[in-house]
A and B are shown apart, each in its own frame.
Chain A
Amino acid sequence: MINLIHALKNPQAFISQAMQNPQISNNPIAQNAYQMMQKGDSKGLEQIARNLAKQQGVDIDTLRKQIGI
Chain B
Amino acid sequence: MQPFVNPNYFNPYPMYQQPQIQPQMPSYAQNIVHNGLEGKYVGEFSEVTANDVPMTGQGALFIKGDLSEIQLRNWNANGLIDIKSFKPSISEVEEVSTKSVEHAYLPSDELRMALENINDRLDKMEGLLKRKPGRKEVAEDD
Contact = CB atoms under 8 A, between A and B. Distances in A.
Contacts of B80: 51, 54-55
- Which one of A27, A28, A48, A51 has the highest number of Cβ atoms from chain B below 10 Å of its Cβ? A28
Nearest to B77: A32
Contact of B57 (A26, A49, A55, A57): A26
Given A26-B57, A27-B57, A28-B57, A55 B50 contact: yes
A42 interface: no
Secondary structure type dominating chain A contacts: helix
B79 A29 contact: yes
Given A23-B56, A56-B50, A31 B78 contact: no
A55 B78 contact: no
Interface string A4-33: 000000000000000000010011111110
Interface of B: 50-51, 55-57, 75-81
25 contacts: A27-B55, A27-B56, A27-B57, A27-B75, A28-B57, A28-B76, A29-B55, A29-B75, A29-B76, A29-B79, A31-B77, A32-B78, A47-B78, A47-B79, A48-B79, A49-B79, A50-B79, A51-B79, A51-B80, A52-B79, A55-B79, A55-B80, A56-B50, A56-B51, A57-B50
